[in-house]
């Protein structure tokens, strides 16, 4: 039986308007010169500089999506701007270090240079020249340097041996002109300009010892013994119970 009751008329719906909370969800980008935009750009540049990632990382789709998820108002900077910011930060930090070096009474320099198999070119002059260039760049006066620590490579020895001879001749001329020198300054002036690295020297001693036939045979026997223990879990467990230690291989 059809329902003959009059259908209840629903009141006309009003035009839907966005709620107040929805109005707050509309995002407007930071102005390029705003403090928030600038601080976030500097933070990104510092992260790029500390992690040594390429500046083009900021143009990666995944990076842009991540930053927009974190802050929708941020305009992710391009790699050119990040490069300029990293350079600016580097120069600022460099000035801070130069100030700290200028406040130091005496300075010791540690120097190490990469080597490459099959390298035939000689860089003795380049090593000495680059050291002088670095001292000038960082504002390190010659009289502040106590010594330069290097490895025992022939290139290092030769490079600073030449400098030492030049320094000794110039120091003799200066001593003739100056009669008053403090005890501390005299002590530093008598030090060698180059000091071999202790760790590197010890490693050379170890290498020389290993070349001895008797010691080499002894080390071979010890290695075989260690190898036997490492192959047997039962022996390793017994050794651990007896002395509380396990064998390692050099």
Spell out the residues 6+ positions from residue 56 whose beta carbon is closer than 8 angstroms to its own: 79
pLDDT of residue 17: 61
Same domain? 129 vs 164 = yes
Spell out the residues 6+ positions from residue 248 whose beta carbon is closer than 8 angstroms to its own: 226
CA-angle at 83, arms to 78 and 86, nearest 5°: 125
pLDDT of residue 48: 96
The model's pTM:
0.57
pLDDT of residue 134: 84
Residue 165 lies in domain? 104-110+122-175+184-198
Same domain? 232 vs 190 = no
CA dist 29 and 191 (Å) reads 62
pLDDT of residue 187: 39
Spell out the residues 6+ positions from residue 41 whose beta carbon is closer than 8 angstroms to its own: 77, 81, 82, 85
Same domain? 37 vs 72 = yes
Q: CB burial class (10 A; 0-12, 13-18, 19+) of residue 198?
A: exposed
- Cβ pair 191, 149 in contact under 8 A: no
- Cβ pair 93, 50 in contact under 8 A: no
pLDDT in tens, 65-118: 999 999 999 999 999 999 999 999 999 999 999 999 999 999 888 877 555 555
pLDDT of residue 4: 58
H helix and E strand count, the chain:
10, 3
Same domain? 188 vs 230 = no
pLDDT in tens, 197-209: 888 888 888 888 8
3-class secondary structure, 245? coil
The number of beta carbons lying within 10 Å of the beta carbon of residue 58 is 23
Distances (CA, A) of 1 to 4, 8, 12, 163: 9, 19, 30, 116
Domain count, the chain: 3
Q: Which residue has the tokens 């070096």?
A: 101
Distances (CA, A) of 213 to 201, 208, 209: 21, 11, 9
DSSP helix, strand, coil percent of the chain (3-state; round to 5): 60, 5, 35
Q: Is residue 15 part of a domain?
A: no
Q: Is residue 7 part of a domain?
A: no
CA dist 148 and 131 (Å) reads 10
pLDDT of residue 208: 87
Same domain? 78 vs 38 = yes
Q: Is residue 56 part of a domain?
A: yes
Six-digit token string for 52: 């040594």
Q: Is residue 234 part of a domain?
A: yes
Q: Is residue 20 part of a domain?
A: no
pLDDT of residue 135: 85
Same domain? 138 vs 193 = yes
Q: Is residue 149 part of a domain?
A: yes
pLDDT tens sequence for the chain (250 residues): 555 555 555 665 655 565 655 555 567 899 989 999 999 999 999 999 999 999 999 999 999 999 999 999 999 999 999 999 999 999 999 999 999 999 999 988 887 755 555 555 545 556 667 778 888 888 888 888 888 888 877 777 777 765 555 555 555 555 454 444 444 444 334 334 788 888 888 888 888 888 888 888 888 888 888 888 888 888 888 888 888 877 776 5
């Amino acid at each position: 039986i059809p329902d003959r009751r009059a259908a209840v008329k629903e009141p006309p719906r009003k035009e839907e308007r966005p709620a107040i909370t929805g109005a707050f969800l509309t995002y407007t980008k930071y102005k390029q010169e705003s403090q928030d935009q600038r601080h976030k750009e500097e933070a990104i540049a510092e992260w790029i500089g500390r992690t040594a990632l390429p500046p083009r990382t900021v143009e990666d789709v995944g990076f842009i999506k991540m930053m927009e998820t974190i802050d929708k108002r941020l305009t992710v900077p391009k790699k050119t701007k990040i490069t300029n910011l990293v350079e600016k930060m580097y120069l600022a930090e460099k000035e801070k270090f130069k100030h700290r070096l200028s406040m130091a009474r005496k300075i010791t320099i540690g120097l190490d240079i990469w080597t490459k198999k099959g390298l035939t070119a000689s860089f003795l002059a380049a090593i000495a020249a680059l050291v002088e260039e670095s001292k000038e760049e960082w504002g390190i006066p010659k009289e502040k340097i106590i010594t330069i620590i290097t490895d025992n490579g022939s290139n290092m020895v030769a490079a600073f041996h030449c400098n030492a001879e030049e320094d000794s001749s110039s120091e003799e001329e200066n001593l003739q002109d100056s009669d008053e020198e403090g005890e501390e300054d005299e002590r530093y002036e008598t030090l060698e300009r180059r000091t071999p690295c202790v760790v590197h020297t010890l490693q050379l001693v170890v290498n020389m010892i290993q070349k001895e036939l008797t010691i080499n045979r002894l080390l071979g026997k010890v290695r075989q013994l260690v190898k036997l223990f490492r192959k047997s879990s039962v022996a390793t467990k017994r050794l651990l119970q007896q002395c509380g230690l396990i064998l390692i291989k050099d």
